[in-house]
Amino acid sequence: MALIKLPHCGGHPSSFILHPSNVRTSCHRIPVASAFLLALVACTAGADVPGRVVSVHDGDTLTVLVERRQLKVRLADIDAPELGQPFGANSKRSLSELCFGKPATLDVRGQDRYKRTIARVTCAGTDANAEQVRRGMAWTYTRYAPADSPLHAVQLAARSASRGLWAEAAPVAPWEWRRAAR
């Protein structure tokens, strides 16, 4: 039976130990990996979590190695083109250049319906969320980004400069592209 230790849980300097046999949902035990992810999200919301980026899935999703566990992370408040959409491959390449193989710090915001951790991600000192928008490789996700988020101004600057996807005559936002694909 495995024990999972998370550093600085809840802001306490002592470690939080999660024993999988004590974690239940209804009458079923949660697998160790799921228990780890639940504990990580619960204990680190608003805290900085260090790791290393080991994979980039697309322009707004990557995998970070945290405490020898892989954590799938969705960049908060942005939405990048889907891989089959114009600029999708460019967006993935951009996030890879920013983050792949580099140390990362996650400012955890929560978890989405696909069980990905939602976070602001800093890779080697660069705010990856803002940089993707600045490069014109992602939209500010207006459905989730607060009205006072600086990402709105970053997107406006990228659009004004016709950077990345903003060089297209009529770029289609990923949420509209997904809706049309249904």
Q: Which residues are catalytic?
A: 74, 82, 116
CB 124 within 8 A of CB 97: no
Q: What gap in Å lies between CA 78 and CA 6, rounded to an integer?
A: 28
> What is the DSSP track for the chain?
---EEETTGGG-SSPEEE-GGG-EETTEEPPHHHHHHHHHHHHHTTSEEEEEEEEEEETTEEEEEETTEEEEEEETTEEPPPTTSTTHHHHHHHHHHHHTTSEEEEEEEEE-TTSPEEEEEEETTEEHHHHHHHTTSSEE-TTTS-TT-THHHHHHHHHHTT-GGGGSSS---HHHHHHHH-
